């Protein structure tokens, strides 16, 4: 497994002296890489636990009047990392920071974005409310599971897209002959179409259903994938079962190969073992969630960095420049 670690530096723009970057414990490697890209030191903050596991935060430098950015994914353990973020925001607010931006490379609880049944919560809205009430002035995140979650926040929210980053990697590392982009389900067609447009490639869709509760999903392929080098794209991979089933269905339908590009590698439980034993030629994920040792050692999983993308978006936010133009 190879992980892209080299982060080209940029010349800091005017106004960087008033910007400070801090990182929680969820993804210190990414926070360090973003600081390297911005050519500023990572802010000094102590984030630790009391004996009973309560979170304690102490900011070790002056932030009065500063434009503060806190990098913290709410990944596993999601509740611990969410509390770290909230307490860091509160500490910054009480230290009189001028503006606080919560940078969430991975926004947990995003899959609970609607009432899927009776008497169920909309946890994504609840978490958005909590972050706002803690004192965040704006939020920056990457590839929300559902675009409407951006509207759950009552503060400015930038939802960045990984598609430009992923398409660049496809061009550099994949066989572009007979390439076909595949959405693993009907709900991901918009994301897949965006990648297909950038690669000038045709689009196919995996249609899945369960005939009976508890039975395996039946996969139907919409589109002819015969002889194609297929690229599956999605925002989140958790257990990996659906993705592996989709890759198997593509191979049975005559595809030449099946690879996958996923923004957020949750990879819980036995997902890494499942991916390693699957028919996937390669799984490419970003470092929005800090990869575990098992992920780094997997033979067919590769990690690419989002530090440049997030760093540039942070720089533009601090300089009051357009962020959306990054994706034009």
Split into its structural domains, the chain has a count of 2
Looking at residue 30, its pLDDT comes to 98
Structure confidence by residue, pLDDT tens digits, 206-261: 998 766 655 557 679 999 999 999 999 999 999 999 899 999 999 999 999 999 99
Helix or strand holding residue 326 (H, E): none
Q: How far is CA 135 from each of CA 78, 116, 128, 204, rounded to the nearest angstrom?
A: 20, 30, 11, 44
Residue 239 structural domain:
163-305
What pLDDT sits at residue 117? 87
195 with 78, same domain: the answer is no
Tell whether 217 and 318 lie within a shared domain: no
254 part of a folded domain: yes
Residue 217: per-residue pLDDT = 75
In the numeric block, which tokens belong to residue 308?
Answer: 């440049």
What is the mean pLDDT of each successive set of 10 residues along the chain, which is 328 residues long?
52 58 97 98 95 95 97 97 98 97 97 91 97 98 94 97 97 94 92 96 89 65 97 96 93 97 96 96 98 96 98 97 90
Q: Catalytic residue among 20, 60, 115, 208, which?
A: 208
Structure tokens at 163: 């598609």
**Is residue 36 a known part of a binding site?**
no
Q: Is 146 inside any structural domain? A: yes
Residue 1 resides in a domain = no
Q: How many CB atoms lie within 10 A of CB 280?
A: 24
112 is in an annotated binding site: yes
d(CA 171, CA 228): 16
What's the confidence (pLDDT) of residue 13? 43
In a domain, 179, yes or no: yes
Annotated binding-site residue? 169: no
Q: Does 208 qualify as catalytic in the annotation?
A: yes
295 and 316 inside one domain: no
Q: Is residue 102 part of a domain?
A: yes
Q: Does 176 fall in a domain? A: yes
Any known ligand binding at 198? no
CATH number, domain containing residue 245:
3.40.50.2020
Report the distance separating Cα 295 and Cα 285, nearest Å.
10
239 appears as a binding residue in the annotation = yes
């Amino acid at each position: 497994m190879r992980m892209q670690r080299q982060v080209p530096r940029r010349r800091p723009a005017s106004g960087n002296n008033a910007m400070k970057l801090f990182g929680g414990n969820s993804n210190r490697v990414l926070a360090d890489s973003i600081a390297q890209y911005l050519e500023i030191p990572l802010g000094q903050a102590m984030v630790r636990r009391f004996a009973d596991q309560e979170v304690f935060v102490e900011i070790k430098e002056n932030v009065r009047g500063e434009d503060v950015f806190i990098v913290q994914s709410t990944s596993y353990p999601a509740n611990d990392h969410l509390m770290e973020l909230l307490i860091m925001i509160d500490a910054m607010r009480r230290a009189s920071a001028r503006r606080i931006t919560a940078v969430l490379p991975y926004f947990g609880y995003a899959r609970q974005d609607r009432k899927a049944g009776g008497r169920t919560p909309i946890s994504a809205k609840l978490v958005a409310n909590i972050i706002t009430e803690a004192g965040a002035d704006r939020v920056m995140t990457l590839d929300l599971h559902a675009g409407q979650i951006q509207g759950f926040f009552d503060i400015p929210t930038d939802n960045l897209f990984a598609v430009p980053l992923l398409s660049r990697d496809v061009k550099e590392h994949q066989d572009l002959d007979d390439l076909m982009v595949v959405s693993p389900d009907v709900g991901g067609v918009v994301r897949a179409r965006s990648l297909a447009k950038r690669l000038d490639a045709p689009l196919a869709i995996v249609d899945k259903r369960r005939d009976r509760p508890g039975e395996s999903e039946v996969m139907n392929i919409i589109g002819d994938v015969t002889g194609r080098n297929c690229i599956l794209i999605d925002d989140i991979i958790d257990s990996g079962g659906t993705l592996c089933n989709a890759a198997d269905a593509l191979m049975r339908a005559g595809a030449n190969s099946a690879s996958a590009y996923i923004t957020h590698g949750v990879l819980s439980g036995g997902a890494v073992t499942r991916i390693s034993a699957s028919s996937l030629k390669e799984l490419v994920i970003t470092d929005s969630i800090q990869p575990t040792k098992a992920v780094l050692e997997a033979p067919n999983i590769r990690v690419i960095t989002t530090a440049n993308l997030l760093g540039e978006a942070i720089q533009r936010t601090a300089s009051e420049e357009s962020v959306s133009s990054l994706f034009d």
